[in-house]
Structure 1
Amino acid sequence: MTVTLTDTVQPSTADLLTGVLLGADFRREHGFWQRLISTEPFRRPPGGTPEERLSLAYDRLRILNRSLDSGARLAADPRALAALHEWLGPVDPALTTVAGIHYSLFLGSLLDHDAGTDRDLSDFLGMRRIGTFLCTEVAHGNDAASLETTATYDRERDGFVLHTPNAGAQKFMPNTSPAGGPKTGLVAARLLADGTDHGVHLFLVPLTDDVQALPGVRVRRLPARMGSPVDHCLTSFDRLFVGRDALLGEGRVLGGDGGFSSTPADRRRRFLTSIGRVTPGRISMSACAAGSARATLAVAVRYGGHRMVSGGRGAGQIPVNAHRTHHGPLASAMATVFAMSLLHRRVLDRWERRTGEDRAEAERLVAVAKGWITWQARAVIVECRERCGAQALLENNGMTELVTGVEGAITAEGDNLAVHAKAAADMFFAAEPAPGDPSQDPADGTGNTPSGRTPGELADPRFLGRLLDAVEEIWFTRARKRALRAPHDDALVRWNAASGAALRGVEAHAYRQAAEGYTEALATLPEGDARERLAELQRLFALQWVARNSGDLLAAGHLTAQQVDELPEATEELIAAVAAHATELVESFALPDELLADWPIAGADYAEAYDDADGSWHRGQAKASPPAAR
């Protein structure tokens, strides 16, 4: 065929959907990580003990660092950090953990707090020392503002004495062992000077050489954690002296005469400043969960097309995906995985556009999305594991690490329930009923509203969007009513009365935000197959949530009895439509062939992974056994 200058190559449906999932500039944003995980050092090794896998994770960390043009630039870029987690998460959860700690929590905090200083970061940028972050204590996790590790100012030596006063104040789960090489940590400690508590600050503290903990530092490995092997430890300090330059941002806090500019009234704000990297960390946890869910779903869909089962009398062999009982859950998972990815992109964009005035709102959206995405990822990954049967329980098929790895994301950077509870507390009193819509008159159960108008069509995305708004409004209204009925002189009783409904409101808020992500993405697509595929996913995602809340929506007059009866059939039609294009949809995940090749069940020849060179089938027909004596 002759190609002229006017000919253009039209992007495929999968390519267009990749742009939706990963962003319009996905090649620049994600191309480096796609290529990195395709290289030999990141291919899946056979077996290995936990210690060997941990050593491999740190070896890979150094290879990654040598591949970067600037570790400082990565640490300063939340979008690049999110992409790191999105692609490394499915490959090596242990590597993802130590890389996220080093670049985001450690280097990122140094850059944030010491901007404009001349602190030498070359050891950390060159990976001669690996960075870690010590905030959580045995007795203080989600209430880390109450942590007990102290850093007492020693005026004579012009430095600080770090001390762990009791067992509950031991730093809990940082990767502080000598594994992987010498470690330096940022230690969150309560700064005490002249009898005054100046709140929580960060201190830069060398912890180990490549053999053992340094004097004044005690490091003990914790019991093995479920999932990928990381050297999580208990770390404590025995009156360890560090110089004044160990205090991050010391020029803004500690004067030349040893006086402090912070006051007790600023302690809460000081703590939030110290852990400011938690918000980008939550974005990264969402990215890791979304990437892991996409990878698991891709494997499940591919395996379901390769795994042949009996089709019934006279039907011969058919792929297990041909059964509605198999492809139905995967189609539902597909709608959820797209929603997770679109919400992650929406939140990342929102965080980058934040201003001083709306920062709190942006932080809350990040927290809500982190909880919802990681919870949804767990449900998707577990479903996909089950659809792949016993073979998915084997480590070489990749899913077991992701099943346990997502549990870490659910807990990291704030337990999901705790961050959603805080969001609920912020939102439920502020929640206001949505503006009235004439199409939302209460229905009489016959299919008509008192004003004679139908409340909308289930095939109309705008109507589905209003239903999602209504679910959120219903739950926050219940929360307000329950709080008002509780005794006003007991804040805990009032919160306990409202919290259940308020948490449901936060969940509904996340669903609405994800649905709006679908709407925004559809607006970027031209008419054609890609737009149709995404619209099917959008409607399936919304209908399944509406179905879960149909009783409330019916009672409030937002749905008719006839529509409630129609929901199952409408959902089944969309499941069939999505399942018919599942293979093409997983192609849009843009997973490298090398990654999928490392998971046997992702390939049509998966049975060859279990071949036996000494098996009888390689020696021809076995000799028949002599007949048994009669």
Structure 2
Amino acid sequence: MVDTAARTTTSTDAPTPTPASAPTQTTAAPTGAAPRVDVEALGLQLLGDWAEIRLASRELSSRPEMQKVEGLSLADQRARVFGQLKLLVESGQVHRAFPKSVGGKEDNGGNIAGFEELVAADPSLQIKSGVQWGLFGAAVLQLGTQYHHEKYLPGIMSLDVPGAFAMTETGHGSDVASVATTATYDPETQEFVIDTPFRGAWKDYLGNAGKDGIAAVVFAQLITNNVNHGVHAFYVPIREENGDFLPGIGGEDDGIKGGLNGIDNGRLHFTGVRVPRLDLLNKYGDVAEDGTYTSSIDSPGRRFFTMLGTLVQGRVSLDGSAINAAKIGLKIAITYGDQRRQFTAGSDTDEEVILDYQRHQRRLLPLLATTYAGSFAHEVFLHKFDDVFSGRAATDADRQDLETIAAALKPLSTWHALDTLQEAREACGGAGFLTENRLTSLRADLDVYVTFEGDNNVLLQLVAKRLLTDFSRKFAKADAGALARYVVTQAAGKAYHGTGLRSVAQTVKDFGSTARAVNWLQEPSTQRELLTGRVEAMVGDVAGRLRSANKLGKKAAADLFNSQQNELIEAARAHAELLQWEAFTDALDQAPDAGTKQVLTWLRDLFGFGLIEKHLSWYLIHGRLSPQRAQAVSAYIDRLLTRIRPHAVDLVDAFGYGPELVRAKIATGAEAERQAEARAYYAEQRASGTAPVDEKTLKPKKR
């Protein structure tokens, strides 16, 4: 076993790239030289187009007064986080997305980029600020009109009016269209009367509702002239300045949670609460004095999804925040793994660095590859968001694309963050379980990311429905001949793959050579074909099974759809994985130099091969890979691990999170000092002859 600790750079201080445009030209490496990662340049590429804002947010997050203090009481932790919100206001950190007319900067992409970096300070701070300005404030901004902007945004921006985003109910979470709270218009007083008719209709899990909030944006079924026009949003005061609930309003504190305890989550209920007609956030639907309802969007369904789509920034920011948390977890685990020594596998005296063990590499390096894929995909996603919200790409199709990408990527990144933090914790052994090393605390705080702003499985179902819609549109106007040709092609393809003819052809082509199989799999076009082909086949198969749904009754059609739900969600997940792979592949062209590009290419291949290996049974069952090529996948992953290992520390250093942001004692170089002290101690004993004799050396050897 090779001790790589001596030849890898162990940096305790991550680079701080100077904001500038990342170079698009790559510099050739010397012929025959081993590739080297330009950590600073790669770090700049990872920062993306909002580098200055990200760095400013990291600088703010590095201040001790902005950071989480472990072990505080519930009341003290909440008070600390609320005080930190005031510091965010002072810094101007939270005003970027708001209109210039009220003191904002109208920088939507920069706002999200800066917000995502707050996860390094304290996830509770990040999410509570997201509740105040990204949900409560954004709802007023995106769903209200100029009247609401001028009246309410200044107080929201300054934190004079802390507020809650009252959408979720105890009985309805992801199914927002079915919330039971009502807002019934009374034309005599020109007021809406808000009611929660039963316990399941209470607004629940709301940040700022437990203690701090004095107002809320409440989502309720708008009823006027005895017609329900669906879910709309209303600005509703909920507390006096002394903290007492206003008449007709009550609630409870959610108490201690599994994480994010700096946020005062709570419940609200309403009984005959009257709000002025003008406090309906009426950008997409309005009620006249006489109770007449009007909307610029005729379709109730499209109107509902348009209103929800304006709030998509929550999913955008969770995607980036989760990736950042995974980066911090890997920074800790890989730094520690490059220093920690265990077992004398290849030496009689020196123990091995644990990151040199193949199994340790298998645990952490594929997660590193996925984190890079998620990071590059998020940059593309963030640009799409900025284009839509700035108005540069404001068509209905653009907004639908943004919603679909958000629903695809947020599940993958939040699940990945939890998996990464858990594996990082285990990879650091007992040290990883100590609160001082942050991994357990980060994982606890990020746990709920997989369910808020949309349960991950529900979001993937939305993606699947979009994929089915796009699939059916291909044939919406097709003539009988085109459809027939497609059916014949599909049938031929199924016969071809199902009989194993493709697999046999692959085996013959490879002539028993694993190298040939690997060379074929290494090609980006091959990886793209395998990943794309899986998505297309899964969507096509489900579409075929659901073809008769429109001829069935409602119950039978629902049962048929439900029978395909798991396959639909898996198809959506495969689509999201393809998006990440494509983003990673495109990012290779922006690598700063040839050496960095080579290492990133290995990392991209590790990500792609990892996806194929994870779904290997599908590829074998469907005849897309021969058994020999399937074996080559795992064999090449092992080869890639060996190639990437010397660059692992550089790759996590490029994330740019220094000690003041990582805040884990085992990632400061302390372990390397302990190991050096131990090795020096035993070396001195051996050199001086004072080392005790090992009992095993005294026993006579058997003949």
Taking structure 1 as the reference length, the TM-score comes to 0.87
Q: Deviations over 1:588-616 (max 9, x none)?
A: 111133112x222222226999xxxxxxx
Counterpart Cα distance in 2 of 1:156 and 1:69: 44
What residue in structure 1 maps to residue 155 of structure 2? 123
Q: CA RMSD in A?
A: 3.1
1:341 aligns with 2:375: yes
Residues 1:429 and 1:145: Cα distance change in structure 2 (over 3 Å):
closer
Give 1:398 shift. Answer: 1.2
- Checking the alignment, whether the CA contact within 8 Å between 1:158 and 1:244 is kept in structure 2 is yes
Residue type of the partner of 2:335?
R
| Structure 2 residue 405 is matched with structure 1 residue 365 | yes
**Measured at CA, do residues 442 and 322 of structure 1 come closer, stay the same or move farther in structure 2, by a change above 3 Å?**
closer
Q: Give the match for residue 102 of structure 1.
A: 132
Report the CA distance shift for 1:473/1:291 in structure 2 as closer, same or farther (over 3 A).
same
1:605 to 670, 674, 677: 670
User: Could you say which residue in structure 1 is the equivalent of 2:364?
Assistant: 330
- Helix, strand or coil for the counterpart of 2:243? coil
Is the Cα contact below 8 Å between 2:502 and 2:624 reproduced in 1? yes
1:9-48 correspondence runs (5 A): 13-23=38-48, 25-48=49-72
For residues 561 and 404 of structure 1, the distance between their equivalents in structure 2, rounded to whole angstroms, comes to: 41
Partner Cα distance (1:39, 1:553) in 2: 50
Aligned to 2:77: 53
In 2 relative to 1, CA 556–257 (structure 1 residues): closer, same or farther, beyond 3 Å? Answer: closer
- Alpha-carbon contact 1:113-1:249 (below 8 Å) kept: yes
Q: Deviations over 1:219-242 (max 9, x none)?
A: 201242211202111100121122
Aligned 8 A contact 1:448 1:560 in 2: no
Unmatched 5+ stretches in structure 2: 1-22, 28-35, 99-103, 388-392, 475-485, 511-515, 675-703
- Partners in 1 of 2:558 and 2:93 — Cα distance? 51
Determine the structure 1 residue equivalent to 2:30: none
The amino acid that maps onto 1:601 is: I
Post-superposition Cα deviations, 1:276-302, rounded to whole Å, max 9, x if no partner, equal 343111111101111111111111111
In the aligned structure 2, how far is the partner of 1:101 from the partner of 1:31?
A: 23
| 1:261–1:177 CA distance, 2 compared to 1 (3 A) | closer
The equivalences for 1:231-630 within 5 A come to 231-249=264-282, 253-262=286-295, 266-312=299-345, 314-353=348-387, 354-356=393-395, 357-428=397-468, 430-431=470-471, 442-444=502-504, 447-448=507-508, 457-484=520-547, 489=552, 490-596=556-662, 598-605=663-670
* 2:678 aligned residue: none
Provide, for residues 315-367 of structure 1, a one-character-per-residue CA deviation record: whole Å limited to 9, x for no partner. 32333222222232111111011011111112222333444133223311211
What is the Cα deviation at residue 517 of structure 1? 0.5
Aligned to 1:170: 202
Q: Per-residue CA shift, 1:117-141, capped at 9, x if unaligned?
A: 2424222121111122001111111
Indicate if the aligned counterparts of 2:204 and 2:268 stay in contact, CA closer than 8 A. yes
> Aligned letter for 1:17?
L
Q: Judging changes above 3 Å, is the alpha-carbon distance between structure 1 residues 69 and 139 closer, same or farther for their aligned structure 2 residues?
A: closer
Partner of 2:504, secondary structure, is coil
Q: Note if contact 1:190-1:201 (Cα within 8 Å) is conserved in structure 2.
A: yes
What is the identity, as a one-letter code, of the residue corresponding to 2:432? A
Q: Give the Cα separation in 1 of the matches to 2:186 and 2:504.
A: 75
Q: CA deviation at 1:62?
A: 1.1
Where 1:201 maps in the other structure, the secondary structure is strand
For residues 133-172 of structure 1, the aligned pairs below 5 Å read 133-172=165-204
CA contact (8 A) 1:424 1:502 kept: yes
More deviation, 155-164/533-542: 155-164
Q: Match of 1:119, SS? A: helix
Pair 1:40–1:608, CA change in 2 (3 A): farther
Equivalent residue of 2:146, what SS? coil
Partner residue of 1:617?
none
The amino acid of 2:87's aligned partner reads I
| Deviation, structure 1 residue 84 | 3.5
Could you list the per-position Cα deviations for residues 424-457 of structure 1 after superposition, in whole angstroms to 9, with x for gaps in the alignment? 12313644799999xx98242563469xxx9971
Answer yes or no: is the 8 Å Cα contact 1:185–1:207 preserved in 2.
yes
**Alpha-carbon distance in 1 for matches of 2:658, 2:208:** 33
Shift of 1:77: 4.1
2:226 paired residue number: 195
Moved more, 359-368 or 306-315: 306-315
The number of equivalent residue pairs is 594
Q: What is the DSSP-based 3-state SS (H/G/I as helix, E as strand, rest coil) of the residue aligned with 1:235?
A: strand
Deviates more, 1:440-449 or 1:45-54: 440-449
Query: For 1:349 and 1:49, how far apart are their aligned partners in 2?
Result: 40
2:689 is matched with: none
| Contact 1:42-1:91 within 8 A present in 2 as well | yes
After superposing the two structures, state which structure 1 stretch, 41-50 or 568-577, moved more: 41-50
Rounded to whole Å, the distance in 1 between the matches of 2:576 and 2:132 is: 30
More moved, 397-406 vs 567-576:
397-406
Tell me the distance in 2 between the aligned counterparts of 1:251 and 1:379: 40
Distance 1:406 1:70, change over 3 A: closer
Would the alpha carbon gap of residues 269 and 463 (structure 1) be closer, same or farther in structure 2, given more than 3 Å must change?
Answer: closer
Question: How far apart in 2 are the matches of 1:560 and 1:189?
Answer: 55
Q: Is the 8 A contact 1:446 1:560 kept in 2?
A: yes
Q: CA deviation at 1:462?
A: 2.0
For 2:524, give the aligned amino acid: P
SS state of the match for residue 151, structure 2?
A: coil
Q: CA deviation at 1:200?
A: 1.7
How far off its partner does 1:396 sit? Answer: 2.4
Q: 1:26 to 1:355 in 2, by over 3 A?
A: closer
Distance 2:297 2:590 in 1: 50
What is the alpha-carbon distance in structure 2 between the residues aligned to residue 72 and residue 603 of structure 1? 34
Q: Distance in 2 between matches of 1:251 and 1:200?
A: 11
Quote the offset at 1:50 in angstroms: 2.3
Counterpart-to-counterpart distance in 2, 1:486 and 1:182: 46
Change in 2 beyond 3 A, CA 1:113/1:477: closer
Using structure 2 for the length normalisation, give the TM-score: 0.78
SS at structure 2 position matched to 1:225: coil
Deviates further, 318-327 or 258-267: 258-267
| Aligned mates of 2:112, 2:136 — CA distance in 1 | 16
In the alignment, what sits opposite 1:214? 246
Q: Distance in 1 between matches of 2:417 and 2:603?
A: 17
Tell me if the contact between 1:106 and 1:132 (Cα under 8 Å) persists in the aligned partners: yes
Unaligned runs of 5+ in 1: 1-7, 610-630
Which letter maps to 1:15?
Answer: E
Aligned partners of 2:352 and 2:154: how far apart in 1? 59
